[in-house]
Amino acid sequence: MAIMDADYLVIGGCGFLGQHLCERLLERGYSVRVFDIRKTFENEKITFIIGDLCKKEDLMAAIQGVSCVFHCASPSPLSNNRELFHKVNVEGTKLLIQLCKWAGVQRLVLTSSASVVYEGKDIKGGHEDLPYAAQPIDAYTETKIMQEQIVLAANTKDFYTCAVRPHGIFGPRDPHLLPTAVDLARRGKFKFIIGDGKNLVDFTYIDNVVHGHILASENLGGGSVVCGKAYNITNDEPIYFWTFMTQIVTGMGYDAPKYHLPYLLVYFIAVFLMLISRLLSPFCHFIPSFTPMKVALAGTHHFYLCDRAKKDMKYKPLVSLDDGIRKTIESFERLKNGGEGDS
């Protein structure tokens, strides 16, 4: 059955970022098509095509008759599946580029990650020209680096690409950050502050990430300065990691962490537990709560400049961190201490 042409195809459009992006595109009067391996919401204005980014026949059905593609699909960054990361983020992205060119799609905006330059050591005011991490913090980030390189290298005079690098996205319907933090707090594993608690980090409210993506797509085109470039998109308000996390968990009705633990001690315990997990993997599935990636993110400075986005696409955050935290906590009533999530 022929499907209507659309201004945008959102790959991964049933995810946290994807659904918010679709809602904002519709508000701005664009026509939207979603391609995702699952369906998580209904909207009569959206054409949904359910399929696997890694399957050519699935993607061919979705890619024709669109002007711009947002590629937001990825396995969960908190999953532990190296093979799946590579299959979707690398092989799936290669297939997408091949089919974009086949179908005559002109613009591709990739959702990359600010962590593509992060090696678990302090980054204060990181800019986009920092080198890609030679030792990425995990398999997810390794494949995000490869993915971004593939997309930016695909930019030509007829096919325009760019990458948006968000960091620590939070907001209503976040499936990663807030639910993980609340789960740790509920299990009594949120009593300790890793390190001195004074490491500055970017957390980015979902509406600002969506805004950055739409600006990127609207500025992407023949001869545009945006072509072939990556853009950090943050709230432009670095905050102490533990101040942010404390506001989230106390807002959700749990106690604030009180005691400090030395960063290096926790990091090496996390590495030891990861090695034990790998040794035991043939016999049992044991995933430590505190992985080296999470500990590094929780105990080092890592915040980024979005000056390039401000200059090239007039980006500025729409929602402040304080307002974003308030809106997020209000949206997660069901997970509050004593809420239905406790059942």
Ligand X SMILES: CC(C)CCC[C@@H](C)[C@H]1CC[C@H]2C3=C(CC[C@]12C)[C@@]1(C)CCC(=O)[C@@H](C)[C@@H]1CC3
Q: Which stretches of the chain bind ligand X, using CB under 6 A?
A: 77, 113-115, 167-168, 176-177, 180-181, 245, 290, 294, 297-298
Task: Tell whether residue 83 is a contact of ligand NAI (CB under 6 A).
Answer: no
Residues annotated as catalytic are 140
Q: Are strands 169-170 and 204-205 parallel, antiparallel or unpaired?
A: parallel
Using CB atoms, what's the residue nearest to ligand NAI?
15
Q: How many other β-carbons are positioned within 10 Å of the β-carbon of residue 311?
A: 10
Q: Which residues contact 105 (CB under 8 A, 6 or more apart)?
A: 9, 63, 66, 67, 68, 69, 159
* Residue 163 vs residues 166, 197, 304: alpha-carbon distances, Å: 10, 31, 15
Quote the least distance from Cβ 250 to ligand X, whole Å.
Answer: 13
- Residue 245 interface partner, choices ligand NAI, ligand X, none, CB cut-off 5-8 Å depending on type: ligand X
Binding of residue 82 to ligand NAI (CB under 6 A): no
Contact partner at residue 171 from ligand X, ligand NAI, none, CB < 5 to 8 Å by partner kind:
none
Least separation in angstroms between residue 118's CB and ligand NAI is: 11
Closest distance to ligand NAI from the beta carbon of 276 (Å) = 27
CA-only gyration radius of the chain, Å: 20
Positions 124 through 153 that interact with ligand NAI (CB under 6 A): 144
User: Does residue number 52 form part of the binding site for ligand NAI (CB under 6 A)?
Assistant: yes
Two structure tokens written together for 33: 């098509």
The one among 175, 275, 281, 287 contacting ligand NAI by CB under 6 A: 175
Stretch that binds ligand NAI, among 69-77, 189-197, 249-257, 263-271 (CB under 6 A): 69-77
Question: Do residues 194 and 246 lie in contact, with contact meaning Cβ atoms separated by under 8 Å?
Answer: no
Least Å distance between CB 102 and ligand X?
Answer: 29
User: Which stretch in 166-174, 228-236, 270-278, 315-323 sits in contact with ligand NAI by CB under 6 A?
Assistant: 166-174
* Residue span binding ligand NAI (CB under 6 A) among the ranges 165-173, 211-219, 245-253, 266-274: 165-173
What are the Cα distances from residue 302, in Å, to 121, 167, 202, 240, 309? 8, 9, 7, 10, 18
Of the candidate spans 15-23, 252-260, 292-300, 335-343, the one that interacts with ligand NAI by CB under 6 A turns out to be 15-23
Question: Binding of ligand NAI at residue 166 (CB under 6 A)?
Answer: yes
Q: Report the amino acid identity of residue 294.
A: K
Q: What angle do CA 110, 111, 113 make, to 5 degrees?
A: 125
Judged by CB, which is closer to ligand X: 8, or 16?
A: 16
Among 37, 62, 105, 139, contact with ligand NAI (rule: CB under 6 A): 37
From the list ligand NAI, ligand X, none, which binds 15 (C-beta under 5 to 8 Å, kind-based)? ligand NAI
Q: Which of 32, 49, 63, 72 binds ligand NAI (CB under 6 A)?
A: 72
From ligand NAI, ligand X, none, interface partner of 95 (C-beta below 5 to 8 A by class): none
Q: Which is nearer to ligand NAI, 240 or 273 (by Cβ)?
A: 240
Q: How many CA atoms lie within 13 A of 34 on its CB side?
A: 27
**169 binds ligand NAI per the rule CB under 6 A:** yes
Specify the residue, 77 or 228, whose C-beta has the smaller distance to ligand NAI: 77
Residues near ligand NAI (CB under 6 A) are 12, 14-18, 36-38, 52-54, 72-77, 88, 92, 111, 113, 144, 166-169, 175-176
